[in-house]
Chain A
């Protein structure tokens, strides 16, 4: 089954404790992206990757890092999380001009 898998689904952490949210897709998609969803703000793009070893900033990249060492994986790294990064995060992938395929989301709470 074609899918984008994010882990974990829920994460509670404390300020400053480094964390990684994993994302994997099994569709051989070139393009992968991370979004955060906040009430009333829709989805805002954090980082995206056009292919292996090619990443670029989206609209709200501050406080986040990504890497794309393999085509299928695109982890999101928060080196020093802060409470304003409490949000719902989505990973997505696509190929060319096809629509985005989304994971089921990771709800992060930073206290």
Chain B
């Protein structure tokens, strides 16, 4: 069994401020973890993924996330928000045998204020 909890359905930051989107997961097997971004009227795009190895992973558009097994967390961060980062963000977990059987969190809508 696996599940994802995203803390905060809406996050608002000022342009240039730190972005922190929280994700906690549960999984009965070693997890694969993903962050996806959804812009209005579009499908989801992969931001970054953790499979094995280095626990700090870097993705597109300056985002990164750190896998912390002891905390069962995979929080997404970006040092400086840009207006174009406004979107909905989804954390997902899957077992290490098939990333297709992914379970998604409820999503966090990021608003960036000028």
- Which of A41, A96, A99, A105 is B34 in contact with, Cβ under 8 Å? A99
Task: Tell me whether B99 and A98 are in contact (CB under 8 A).
Answer: yes
Least Cβ distance of A51 to chain B in Å?
Answer: 11
A25 to B49, CA, bound (A): 22
Task: Tell me whether A102 and B100 are in contact (CB under 8 A).
Answer: no
Task: Tell me whether B34 and A48 are in contact (CB under 8 A).
Answer: no
Task: Tell me whether A99 and B43 are in contact (CB under 8 A).
Answer: no
Query: Which residues of chain B are near A105, meaning CB under 8 Å?
Result: 41-43
Q: How many residues of chain A have a CB within 8 Å of chain B? A: 26
Task: Tell me whether B43 and A102 are in contact (CB under 8 A).
Answer: yes
A48 to B100, CA, bound (A): 8
B45 — nearest CB in chain A belongs to which residue?
A102
- Asked whether any CB of chain A lies closer than 8 Å to the CB of B18, the reply is no
Task: Tell me whether A33 and B106 are in contact (CB under 8 A).
Answer: no
- Asked whether any CB of chain A lies closer than 8 Å to the CB of B25, the reply is no
Q: Which of A74-104 contact B (CB under 8 A)?
A: 90, 92-94, 96-100, 102-104
Q: Which of B61-114 contact A (CB under 8 A)?
A: 90, 92, 94, 96-107
- Asked whether any CB of chain B lies closer than 8 Å to the CB of A14, the reply is no
Task: Tell me whether B96 and A97 are in contact (CB under 8 A).
Answer: yes
Task: Tell me whether B97 and A97 are in contact (CB under 8 A).
Answer: yes
Task: Tell me whether B9 and A96 are in contact (CB under 8 A).
Answer: no
Task: Tell me whether B44 and A90 are in contact (CB under 8 A).
Answer: yes
Query: Which residues of chain B are near A33, meaning CB under 8 Å?
Result: 100
- Asked whether any CB of chain A lies closer than 8 Å to the CB of B51, the reply is yes
A residues contacting B by CB (< 8 A) are 4, 31-33, 35, 40-45, 48, 50, 90, 92-94, 96-100, 102-105
B residues contacting A by CB (< 8 A) are 6, 9, 32, 34, 36, 41-46, 49, 51, 90, 92, 94, 96-107
